[in-house]
Every structure is written in structure tokens, then in C-alpha cells.
Chain A
Amino acid sequence: GDSVTQMEGPVTLSEEAFLTINCTYTATGYPSLFWYVQYPGEGLQLLLKATKADDKGSNKGFEATYRKETTSFHLEKGSVQVSDSAVYFCALRHSGSRLTFGEGTQLTVNP
């Protein structure tokens, strides 16, 4: 079945550092891929998405590129801020409406 694997957290960075959170997936065909972010005490918010191979999703300085050849959708940001501290979830939607989520990666950014 479909699955999503994220790099284990927690991740702790200093402000302005470069961020990468790895995400790989297992699915047949061409699923839609998502990154969601969850701030403390809140629900998940869509950060970015990509729907086909080589698409790049971007939002708020975050980027992720849909790599079919490596079945990956790694999240990157060039310069993180304290306000980026949150839990980040990679997810895929294959057929139907069901989303499959990764385990989540806790990011803490220190000033």
C-alpha cells in the first residue's frame, strides 16, 4: 500500500540556517504530494503541494520538488526563522480522497 517516510526528528536549528526535511514515498502511479505544517495547539495547514513529476511547490520561502525518479519530496528553506518552529508532515494522495501522512518532523528554531 501507499506509505510516506519522513526523516526522524526533532530537528533543532539556529535562526537563518538552511533547512532540509527529507520525505520519500511508496505508491504506484503519480500521487499528489503535500507538505502540511502544524503550529502548537493548532490544526494542520497546507504549506505546499505538487501534483505531477518535476513540479515545484513553494510557499512562505519553503520549497519542495516532486522527484519521481527518487520518489522524494524533500522540504527546503534557505533561511529559517523562529516563527517556523512547528511540526511538518509530508503526505500523499493517490487514488480517491484518502491522504497518507508521514510521522511528522518537529522543527525548533532558536534565536
Chain B
Amino acid sequence: DAGVIQSPRHEVTEMGQEVTLRCKPISGHDYLFWYRQTMMRGLELLIYFNNNVPIDDSGMPEDRFSAKMPNASFSTLKIQPSEPRDSAVYFCASSLGPVASTDTQYFGPGTRLTVL
């Protein structure tokens, strides 16, 4: 398997623009996670899905952020409008399931977002 795929790898945009980050999880994985990593706040869980349904979005910072998973092989994280404080590395991860034998999360390479 190719692992978790994210695109783009780097994104530079101007404040106020819409940004869309994309993720393809590992085939057969039922759980998908979006994280944000910054120097100040470390690694934060934004939202996760089970079988394409959002389960916990308590980490989504504000209404400017939205995430969708229209099918089992694709998810998007959208920021509209973007702000400089959104600059971070955004990771997508997927796992098979929630129990000890299946709970390992596999991370994508990340998208480095810079908002000017």
C-alpha cells in the first residue's frame, strides 16, 4: 500500500484566501484523523471520522475550518478565509479501528501551510 497520501505538500497563500487540503487514507482503514502541528501548540487533533462520519470535531478551532469525507478514500480540510495564524503543518492519519489490535495510526507526510 502507498500509505496515507496528502496533497499538496506545500501551500503558500495570502490572508483571506480559501485553502483546501486533501487526504487519501490507507485502503480499508475505517478511521481518519486530521492534526495540526505548530511549535507553540504541538500536535493537536482537529477532527476524526469513522466510516466517513465525523465523530469528534471538538478540536476544530473555529467556523473558518471545515472537514468533509465524501467517501472512504478521500477527505478534505478547508480553511475559509485563511489567516496567518493558521500557518502550520497539517497531518492526516488513518487507522483500522478503535481497539488495541487495530488502533495504530498511520500518518501522511503532511501539508506545510503558510498564510502570508
- Report A's interface with B, CB cutoff 8 A: 32, 34, 36, 42-46, 49, 51-52, 89, 93, 96-99, 101, 103-104
Asked whether any CB of chain A lies closer than 8 Å to the CB of B34, the reply is: no
Which stretch, B13-21, B66-74, B78-86, B98-106, touches the partner chain A? B98-106
Contact across chains for B42 and A101 when beta carbons are under 8 A apart: yes
A34-B104, A43-B107, A93-B103 given; 11 more Cβ-contact pairs under 8 Å: A32-B103, A43-B4, A43-B108, A44-B91, A45-B107, A46-B104, A52-B100, A97-B55, A99-B105, A101-B43, A104-B43
Contact across chains for B95 and A97 when beta carbons are under 8 A apart: yes
Dominant secondary structure of chain B at its interface with chain A? strand
Tell me the smallest distance from the CB of B26 to a CB of chain A, in Å.
Answer: 13
A-B contact pairs, 8 of them (CB 8 A): A42-B110, A44-B43, A45-B107, A51-B101, A97-B55, A97-B95, A97-B98, A101-B42
Contact across chains for B45 and A98 when beta carbons are under 8 A apart: yes
Tell me the smallest distance from the CB of A14 to a CB of chain B, in Å.
Answer: 27
Specify which of A49, A51, A96 is in contact with B98 (CB 8 Å cutoff).
Answer: A96
Contact across chains for B45 and A43 when beta carbons are under 8 A apart: no
Residues of B within 8 A of A32 (CB): 100, 103
- Complex alpha-carbon distance, A44 and B91, angstroms: 9
Contact across chains for B91 and A43 when beta carbons are under 8 A apart: yes
Residues of A within 8 A of B33 (CB): 97, 99
- Complex alpha-carbon distance, A83 and B98, angstroms: 32
Asked whether any CB of chain A lies closer than 8 Å to the CB of B54, the reply is: no
Q: Which residue of A lies closest to B100 (CB)?
A: A51
Q: Which residue of B lies closest to A44 (CB)?
A: B107
Residues of A within 8 A of B43 (CB): 44, 89, 101, 104
Given contacts A46-B104, A104-B42, contact A97 B109 (CB under 8 A): no
Tell me the smallest distance from the CB of A109 to a CB of chain B, in Å.
Answer: 22
Residues of B within 8 A of A36 (CB): 107
Contact across chains for B110 and A43 when beta carbons are under 8 A apart: yes
Contact across chains for B104 and A49 when beta carbons are under 8 A apart: yes
